Structure 1
Amino acid sequence: MNGSGAHRALPGAAVDLTAYRVIQEGLTNVIKHAGATAAADLTLAWRPDGLHITIEDDGAAPATGEAGVGLTGMRERLRMVGGTVAIGGRPGAGFELSATLPYESRSLPSSSS
């Protein structure tokens, strides 16, 4: 795992759990789809606009560009907290997942007392 930038807290449990689930699903997909000899690299980058999570592998990219249930669920989970994801094959070989989680979630209820 690689990391860069100054660590910042995410805006709550929902966003923390989303980050965890993105990493979990991304690494699970490497195990399931990239092949037995594939290597993966996980990078967490705390940038001004949010936490960027990148998972790259050097295995065989999936034969189709269609998202499975896990990737569809990941997209929905990220959308619920204002995050984004880009998923696809890498030039040459491998697969890349790149997700961004904002430091301020648009979907979390604001406190108005």
Structure 2
Amino acid sequence: MRIHGRHWLSLAALLLLAAGCQAPPKDRPLTSEVPEPPAFAPPPESCLAEGVRFALGLRVTAPLLEEMRQRSGARFARTLLVTDPSDPVLDPTRLNVRVEPSGRIVGASCQ
């Protein structure tokens, strides 16, 4: 099979087009105009109980407790009855959610 002049040019143009699509994109230098990535939670070494004020007065549920844990930045969260004594072991990455016997949230702290 012989390729004629017209077909040869078409084949060459097609190959050049395909090669252009395979070229890696050039890196764009970072400038001061590039915004910082968003911060969703504090570092895992800390816990901020102020982020869970929205839940005060609500009845505790597993999904709500998980949302509170995420918003506070805690590694884990637990519920405690208001009548329970404080835990002598302090853990700044733990969210303690104080609830009434009825399940209503009355407070939260990181310890």
Higher strand share: 1
Larger Rg: 2
Give the TM-score normalised by structure 2.
0.22
